Structure formats: structure tokens, C-alpha cells
């Protein structure tokens, strides 16, 4: 897809693949969808891939010698290869399909953590972690006697790397860090964190839910031991996520769920396990979703991940600058030219939920609440925030619509 004079992406051509963006909402307002950090929309080629599976070769995988099962199995296995390559992995043996990023976190926590952690071990998180990692490792620590620690953030929303260097020690078993904060937009130096962790014999799990959809990721360059992301945030369907794991770690780990296809052999007394990734995909897996997610990867790579990143960075900086032109707006996190495609903010005198409701009346869809980062909001000293998040199909005009709707909210709440 060719870039235009307006930027690195031909946005109008992209938007043509997303009929939902032509909707009118709130009684006749054009939809301005700025809730992409929660979930993205799905282009026609991905929808077609789902329909094609169900119309032409719907069948279970790894279970039949008939033609439909063979076609489905090949497409599903090829999807693993494509998703592994998408983040710099070697092949399907390093790519497990899960339900979402949350399940990927739980898989590692319970398949690896319950067996490897004990009293005296430490799991180091960041203060900006999503509940999917924070709560999960809290529970595993409670069961194993391990301790959870949190790397603090600086006043301007960056990770305190001096504190990280002090906190990650020889007692650290695992570091879990978001690649990009879904609240602050902070892009964390996960490669540097990986180096520190590995210097102390620890592993690193990177939550890439906000990063993999928006920029080129290379797990080998990062040297991530585990890297997780979700399909529904990167133009794919709901119900599928991805867990990259280094080959030797996945081979050593025990299964997370038990049932069909994850076994090698079963007797009435015992069972042995299939090879990765299949030993972590018990039962009928996410066949249609996996095939469709591979199509989403094709769509993203046809546009170009560097072009997507450049487009989002320009939109985010523009939104940051426009929202901070008045003194009554607090934006959380780093400056507008140094963040992912997320802008969380509050307007003086207007609760985030009220602001979101008013914006909806003008067709502008944003997120309001704690964004599954309650402890981070406690650290920020606010109960909630409004969050606008951008993707490849958003435009400067939509940012202007956001700012105009915020101004209308000001008028409503003016004394």
C-alpha cells in the first residue's frame, strides 16, 4: 500500500476496508472510534478469512485424515509460523495460541511459576502493569511463598531504571514488564530490562499487548524469554492471543490445561505430553481465529509496521498537543513525542465517566475508568482517567472531533 503526501499511510484507502467506521451513532453522529487500546476493528480481508474457513473447510485439526481436516490443519499450523515470524521467533514450536494476553500470562504463571517459585524467590513487576500480570503473579506468589516487588515510575511517567537495577537481584526469578503501558503510553526499555534480568539468572516476560499491533517487534533482539499479545488489538478476531516462548523453556514447562491433542500417549495409569506448542493447546483450539489472525498479520505487514508506527506517533503527538493547550487538562505519562498511541487524561471538574458519556453523544468513543491499572491510578492520585487511543485508520480530523467534544463537555460543566 503506497504512502500518500499526507503521511506514511493512505488512510482513506485503509478506512475503506472497515465498514464499521462509516456508522452513525448517538442519533446521527459520525463514529469517531478512539478506543483502540481496548480493541481494534477488523478489516474485510480478515472477516473474509473467517467466513472462508467456515464456508469451505470447516473441520477439526490434527484429528482426521480426510481432506477438510488436512486443509484446516495446514492452515492452522501455518498460522503459528506466521505469528512466530511476526515477532521475530523462529517457528511454530515457539508460538502458542491462547485465548488472549491474560491467558498467556496465566499459562506461564501456573505452568512455570507454580513449579519453579518458592520462598526466597522474587517476581519483579512494574507499577504500570495491567491487572492480567499483576493479579496473576500476586496469586502465584501467595501459593508459592515468593515475593512480588514493583519497579516505581518517575514523576513524568517513565520507568525508574536506576531502581530497576537495584531491585532485580540474584533472588529474582522473573521480571514481568509491559512493553507499552496501556495507561501512560510509556514505551519501556524491555531489552535493557532483559539484560539486567539475565545478568542475575532471571527470566523476563514482556506484555506486548499494546506494542505488537503498532510497531515491529523482534523477540530475539529484545532477548525476551516470553512475549504475549492479543489478536483483537491488531485487527484480528476476539478469542485468540499469542504466547512466544523460547523453545527450551516451553519444552521444559508442564502443561497448563489437559485434554485432547496435548497428549502424546495415554494409559489408564499415566500420560505423556505432545511437543510445543500443541501441549499447551488442549482440546479443540482456536482454529478460525488463528487462521484469521494470520490474515491480519498479512494486512499489517502489507501496510508496513514502520509506517503504522509513524502514523500513530504523529497522531498521538498531535492529540497530546491539542489537549494540553488549555490549563485544565492533565495528561498522564511522557511527552507527546515519546509515547505509544495512548493519551490518558482528565479535565478539571469533570469525572472521566461523565466525560466519556458526553463524548459519546458526539459520536466519539473513548475509554474511561482505571484501564485495568487500579494500583497505577492510585499512584497517580486519581480514581479514573479518560483514554483516547489511536490506530492505523484514525485521522487528524478525528483528533479535532475529540478536542471539540471535550470543549462541549467543558461548556456543560461550566459553573
CA-to-CA separations, 228 to 93, 139, 148, 336, 410, in angstroms, rounded: 15, 19, 20, 26, 39
Q: Coil, helix or strand for 49? A: helix
- Cα–Cα distance between 128 and 394 in angstroms, integer? 26
Question: Any catalytic annotation for residue 242?
Answer: no
Half-sphere exposure of 271 (CA within 13 A, CB side): 14
Half-sphere exposure of 21 (CA within 13 A, CB side): 23
Choose the catalytic residue: 47, 167, 372, 404. 372
DSSP letter for each residue of 319-365: HHHHHTTSTTEEEESS-TTSS-SEEEEEETTB-HHHHHHHHHHTTEE
Among candidate residues 205, 206, 223, 239, the one with its CA nearest the CA of residue 88: 223
Q: How far is CA 2 from the centre of its chain?
A: 27
- Cα–Cα distance between 180 and 366 in angstroms, integer? 18
CA-to-CA separations, 292 to 12, 103, 289, 302, in angstroms, rounded: 23, 19, 5, 15
Q: How far is CA 176 from the centre of its chain?
A: 14
Three cell numbers, residue 75: 492452515
Pairing of the two strands 172-178 and 271-273: unpaired
Active site residues: 372
Amino acid at each position: 500500500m503506497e504512502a500518500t503526501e499526507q503521511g506514511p499511510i493512505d488512510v482513506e484507502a485503509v478506512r475503506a476496508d472497515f465498514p464499521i467506521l462509516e456508522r452513525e451513532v448517538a442519533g446521527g453522529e459520525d463514529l469517531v472510534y478512539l478506543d483502540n487500546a481496548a480493541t481494534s476493528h477488523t478489516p474485510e480481508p480478515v472477516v473474509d478469512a473467517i467466513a472462508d474457513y467456515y464456508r469451505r473447510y470447516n473441520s477439526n485439526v490434527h484429528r482426521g485424515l480426510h481432506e477438510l481436516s488436512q486443509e484446516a490443519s495446514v492452515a492452522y499450523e501455518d498460522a503459528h509460523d506466521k505469528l512466530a515470524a511476526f515477532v521475530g521467533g523462529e517457528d511454530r514450536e515457539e508460538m502458542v495460541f491462547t485465548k488472549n494476553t491474560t491467558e498467556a500470562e496465566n499459562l506461564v504463571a501456573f505452568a512455570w511459576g507454580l513449579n519453579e517459585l518458592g520462598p526466597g524467590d522474587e517476581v519483579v513487576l512494574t507499577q504500570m502493569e495491567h491487572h492480567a500480570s499483576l493479579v496473576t503473579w500476586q496469586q502465584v506468589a501467595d501459593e508459592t511463598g515468593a515475593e512480588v516487588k514493583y519497579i516505581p515510575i518517575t514523576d513524568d511517567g517513565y520507568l525508574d531504571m536506576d531502581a530497576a537495577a537495584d531491585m532485580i537481584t540474584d533472588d529474582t526469578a522473573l521480571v514481568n514488564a509491559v512493553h507499552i503501558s496501556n495507561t501512560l503510553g510509556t514505551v519501556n526499555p524491555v531489552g535493557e530490562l532483559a539484560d539486567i534480568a539475565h545478568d542475575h539468572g532471571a527470566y523476563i516476560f514482556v506484555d506486548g499487548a499494546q506494542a505488537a499491533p503498532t510497531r515491529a517487534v523482534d523477540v530475539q533482539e529484545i532477548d525476551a524469554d516470553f512475549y504475549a499479545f492479543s489478536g483483537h488489538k491488531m485487527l484480528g478476531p476476539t478469542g485468540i492471543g499469542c504466547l512466544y516462548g523460547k523453545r527450551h523453556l516451553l519444552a521444559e514447562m508442564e502443561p497448563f490445561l489437559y485434554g485432547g491433542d496435548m497428549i502424546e500417549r495415554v494409559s489408564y495409569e499415566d500420560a505423556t505430553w505432545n511437543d510445543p506448542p500443541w501441549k499447551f493447546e488442549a482440546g479443540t483450539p482456536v482454529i478460525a481465529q488463528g487462521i484469521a489472525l494470520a490474515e491480519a498479520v498479512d494486512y499489517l505487514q502489507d501496510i508496513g509496521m514502520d509506517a503504522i508506527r509513524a502514523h500513530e506517533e504523529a497522531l498521538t503527538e498531535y492529540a497530546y498537543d491539542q489537549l494540553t493547550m488549555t490549563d485544565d487538562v492533565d495528561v498522564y505519562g511522557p511527552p507527546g513525542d515519546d509515547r505509544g498511541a495512548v493519551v490518558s487524561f482528565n479535565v478539571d471538574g469533570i469525572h472521566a465517566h461523565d466525560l466519556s458519556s458526553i463524548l459519546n453523544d458526539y459520536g466519539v468513543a473513548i475509554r474511561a475508568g482505571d484501564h485495568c491499572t487500579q494500583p497505577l491510578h492510585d499512584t497517580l492520585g486519581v480514581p479514573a482517567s479518560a483514554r483516547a487511543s489511536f490506530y492505523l485508520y484514525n485521522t487528524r480530523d478525528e483528533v479535532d472531533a475529540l478536542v471539540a467534544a471535550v470543549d462541549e463537555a467543558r461548556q456543560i460543566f461550566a459553573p
